[in-house]
Structure 1
Amino acid sequence: MPDDPSSLRSRTFGAWPRSAWLLATSRMLGTDLELASRSAFVERLKGLGLAADLSRVSRWESGQQAVPTKVVLAYEGALGLPSGSILATSRSLLRNSAPTPPPPERATYGEEDKGLQLVQGLLERALAGDALCGGEWLQLTVELARFDYFFLMADSWQVLCGRLVNELSRTMGIDHLRRYEACVTLIGHDIARPHMLHALGSWLTHPDVQLAAPAVSLLREIPEAPAGELVLRLLRSDNPTLREAAVGVAAGKAARGHFDTLSLRKLEKVAARRLDSHETTRAAVDTIDLVAHLPDDGFERVMRGLRDPAKRPRLQLTRDKGLLLPAQHINVLCRTIAGQAQAVTPTARPAEPDALLEKLVKELLFHVHGVRRRMAGRVLALSPYGPAVADACVPLAGGVNEVLAARAWDSLLVLGHGNRRDEVVALAVGEPRSGLQGEALVSVGLGQRHLDEHEAEKLLAVARETPHADVRASAVFALGMAGPGHVADAGRASEESARAARWWTATGPAIYDADSTPGPAVVSAV
């Protein structure tokens, strides 16, 4: 199996070993165990029209070199994976593997004539309001980006980019990642970028916006000064949804060197003020991420200004090692989770310990950098190990250790709920720690399927009865995403809830792509 020898404290990681690991595990541990044989898999690839042999498959799965787009798409087709799922993950890995990564291959889904026909058909459907799944959005944008110049009317750009930002915000898992890569592809194109930025601005300036993080996170992909200035303004916003979403993005842009000296000094003040909180929530971890990626002099100034000197050793260790907790406290736990995942995942042959699996689990749960955590989670979630790793996180989420519980809830946002959905909902509804209950309820809302009637009633009760405004907001969020039939009732809990419920009613609930959702799927077009 491929491995990534990069250090956890490094600001870079190996994109190709991780992509190769995803190719290899998807083949060897997929639903069709016959394809665990390379010879059988070679024949499947040949049947799809790809030139393949045992040597090539070995090279593609070794992680030593880039894998062409046509090969990635062939793997998706041969293994029955959602279109664009591995491609979106590979492109995201490459883009986040270094502060200044190489650009992705300027590739096409087919021959030139076929590509033009594909663009025309998908563009007509998008502008007409027909439903497109995440794979089709990615196909459309990748094909458009092959052309240095193309012309669309302003109204058409408004519809196209507005739909994409709307759907980006209302999806999760691989449905979300495929649309995210589609957005990044357009942002990277000179012709499309102004229209995408206008669509982002329109979405984020709504006074009652309830889904800000997906749109705000796109600012991380723009190195130019205006994006950094906007992030700084969002950090001072009166809207807590925008303010909290901007913290992780600021950390990501600081890690990539997107801020000038004056902006970094402003970030120091924001980070120092937020570090006085004792929260274990995702926003608090994002603040630690931001501090860890400040320049040396800025980090030292923040450390000297801490009101609680007991925090200094932990912050220094986090900056030095890249982990939120000391390694000796988490190594056994991560090794156990990885071993359990291997033990319960069907395989055609005895499994040896997988070093990269263990490393991905450690990054997902405990790496300080939010981008690194999310990338590890996305690779794990798409791999055959995803459900088992999610199952192992659920007991941690309900445990007495508040730090581990917070890390587990954050991980479940990316992984989904595995095979323990009922337990997740019960834990979220009954969580006695208000800070963690808000995180838990958000996880329920992002659980990749609609709430059933019984689940929705439980969340509605939380929204009505909790004395905590942040918990009530999270319950309304979960109902807005996954329980649209009850969100209006939740709006009666407070004036803030009423405004949120009206926004959800106008915007619509979560979107679930038919090609990636077990059972009945809902694909919504706006």
Structure 2
Amino acid sequence: MAQESSFRLLPAFAAAFRGGSWDREVSVSTVSRWETARTPVPWRAMRRYEELLGLPRNQLTATARTVWRYWAPGPVLDVETVADSPTPLEDLLDQTVSDAMMTGDDWDRLVDGLCARPDVVLMPTGTWEYVAERLVEEMVIADDVPWMLRFESLNRLLNHPRGGRTVIAVCAAMASGRARPTATEIVCALDNCAHPDASERVLRELRSPSGPLAHRGAVMASFRKVDYRHFDERQLETLARSVRASAGTGPFGDQVEPLRRHLAAAHPEYARALLGGATYASHGAGPRHRTTAHRTPVDMAAAVQRVVTRLSTVAPERVRDFAVPTALVSETLTSPLFDVRLYAAFLLAASPYRAAAADALAAELTRPSAVQREEIAVPLLEGLRVLGDDRHRGLLQRLAVTPGVPRFASYAAVRGLGHVGAEPGAGDFLRNAVAHHEAAWQDSRDPVTAATLESLVYAVGMAARDDLLAAVLTDDRSLPAARAAAAWWLGIAGHRRASALV
């Protein structure tokens, strides 16, 4: 929202637009067409919005690039460079392969330079591997805008004509090796890459997963790879068999049934094998809008309406059409596809409604009836993980360890702890939470509790509590996956951890 009250009026905003990243005049009609989506908004204009409205750098541009890539009608290599790099490409490469800091902007400029030279040769041998490995490692421990900048950079490198195949191999090796605690994110990133190696890596994790997190990433990657027709007939048969055989239960199986229905709608020849006698339907303009036979619980529909009502009370003056925030709230809370929920939340987070939306989600989570129903609580907690701030951390902490909270709700709350107000230190809560969930796992050996404990180690790492990571690593009684996650965190170089924050 504009800091200057005069910017509430379109003529004043248009008159002030020239300057900074935008070197020419714009008319009121041009700005109006941008804001009503009748014409595309140039990237430099979006940067100018950030400057004029006093927004953090990249809040709009990074969000737009990330969300646009997800909804693009086909795989894309690059978009217009937002700004010329003040640092030569060679210097940025030297910076990357050293122990120097790399900001999200540095990665953006480096990848812009590499994509502008599709035949570039990096020397010495192994530079592509080093660049990709550092980028992925920083990405999976970054958050918010720093994450978006790195995720976007990885997407472009995966499609680089010369380096893409190496980057694919690095992602596969990291997801199945020492970076297994973050394998979902790494494998899922292959969804936009049309190279046959990316399709084979995804299918490999479906046929013979290197771990449950990698399998979930492969399931999630398959939605777009089906839409983009990355799989040939042989691979589609393999996909159908693998998805049919996959368990759609447990902490990592929530996307299996939506994928079965998505694949059946895209390729009806596999419908009976995937769904048996179940029916499926499609509607809308294209495959990305297929229904997954998902029905929103009545209580969730009521929650959506309460959140929307709260947002309407903080709407800027002159806003009459509240359709866009309403649609984003609905998708954030009710879409059966995790990625759709995530990207809708990203758009809300980049809007003036972020704080109000987070508070509204938190208010819903104070309702005992919402917490006790996992199909209600989990989407609320996932949305809060993106939208929340340090004001909401106490709520997540309570839900993470309070007896009687359903297991999946507790797991979702723990996942949020790694992102919502995750500051170094975090007092004694994390130590007590590790002991609490470790004891629960020792007692039950339940897979949801195990996933919760592993996610809690991620939160410990995000809080830079190396003392707790070391304690988990050296405890022979600890969950092996939690110990592996602790070892991975402790093995990340300090300059990479520091870089991931900016």
Calculate the TM-score normalised by the size of structure 1: 0.80
1:457 and 2:431 matched = yes
For residues 121-151 of structure 1, what are the alpha-carbon distances to aligned partners after superposition, in whole Å with 9 as ceiling and x for unaligned? 4334323332222233113212332234333
Contact 1:107 1:146 in 2 (8 A): no
Match of 1:194 in 2: 165
Match of 1:393 in 2: 361
Aligned mate of 1:340, from 305, 310, 315? 310
Superposition deviation, residue 241 in structure 1? 2.5
- SS of the equivalent of 1:301 reads helix
1:441 and 2:441 matched = no
Contact 1:234 1:243 in 2 (8 A): yes
1:484 and 2:469 matched = no
One-letter code aligned to 1:376:
A
Superposition deviation, residue 391 in structure 1? 2.3
CA distance in 2, matches of 1:329, 1:323: 18
CA distance in 2, matches of 1:198, 1:231: 12
CA distance in 1, matches of 2:390, 2:16: 29
CA distance in 2, matches of 1:163, 1:75: 31
1:507 and 2:488 matched = no
1:291 and 2:260 matched = yes
CA distance in 1, matches of 2:346, 2:274: 32
Q: How does 1:184-223 map to 2 (within 5 A)?
A: 184-207=155-178, 209-223=180-194
By relative contact order (CA 8 Å, sep 6+), the higher-ranking structure is 1
Aligned mate of 1:324, from 280, 294, 297? 294
Aligned mate of 2:232, from 260, 280, 284? 260
Superposition deviation, residue 366 in structure 1? 1.5
1:152 and 2:136 matched = no
Moved more, 468-477 or 38-47: 38-47
Aligned mate of 1:75, from 49, 56, 67? 49
Aligned mate of 1:126, from 96, 109, 115? 96
One-letter code aligned to 2:137:
N
Contact 2:303 2:364 in 1 (8 A): no
CA distance in 1, matches of 2:451, 2:211: 13
Contact 1:406 1:436 in 2 (8 A): yes
Moved more, 318-327 or 35-44: 318-327
Contact 2:260 2:275 in 1 (8 A): no
One-letter code aligned to 2:418:
G
1:261/1:195 CA distance change after superposition, 3 Å = closer
CA distance in 1, matches of 2:88, 2:358: 37
For residues 385-413 of structure 1, what are the alpha-carbon distances to aligned partners after superposition, in whole Å with 9 as ceiling and x for unaligned? 12222222234446222211122222233
Match of 1:246 in 2: 218
CA distance in 2, matches of 1:448, 1:45: 34
CA distance in 2, matches of 1:458, 1:124: 43
Structure 2 segments unaligned to the other structure (5+ residues): 284-288, 442-448
For residues 475-503 of structure 1, what are the alpha-carbon distances to aligned partners after superposition, in whole Å with 9 as ceiling and x for unaligned? 22221232423222233241503332212
1:376 and 2:348 matched = no
Structure 1 segments unaligned to the other structure (5+ residues): 1-28, 306-311, 513-521
1:367/1:43 CA distance change after superposition, 3 Å = same
One-letter code aligned to 1:214:
E
Superposition deviation, residue 219 in structure 1? 0.8
CA distance in 1, matches of 2:120, 2:239: 39
CA distance in 1, matches of 2:478, 2:183: 21
Match of 2:62 in 1: 88
Contact 2:143 2:501 in 1 (8 A): no
Q: Give the percent of matched residue pairs that are identical in Structure 1 and Structure 2.
A: 22
For residues 174-219 of structure 1, what are the alpha-carbon distances to aligned partners after superposition, in whole Å with 9 as ceiling and x for unaligned? 2111111111122222123133224323422325621112211221
1:498 and 2:483 matched = yes
CA RMSD in angstroms, aligned pairs only: 3.2
Match of 1:402 in 2: 374
1:336/1:108 CA distance change after superposition, 3 Å = closer
One-letter code aligned to 1:368:
P
CA distance in 2, matches of 1:297, 1:394: 44
1:96/1:503 CA distance change after superposition, 3 Å = closer
CA distance in 2, matches of 1:399, 1:31: 37
1:183/1:87 CA distance change after superposition, 3 Å = same
Superposition deviation, residue 108 in structure 1? 5.3
Calculate the TM-score normalised by the size of structure 2: 0.84
Contact 2:223 2:262 in 1 (8 A): yes
1:360 and 2:360 matched = no
1:302 and 2:274 matched = yes
Moved more, 375-384 or 131-140: 131-140
Contact 2:43 2:80 in 1 (8 A): no
Match of 1:470 in 2: 451
Contact 1:289 1:368 in 2 (8 A): yes
Contact 1:168 1:214 in 2 (8 A): no
1:395/1:466 CA distance change after superposition, 3 Å = farther
Contact 2:119 2:162 in 1 (8 A): yes
One-letter code aligned to 1:478:
A
Figure out how many residues of one structure are paired with residues of the other and give that number.
Answer: 473
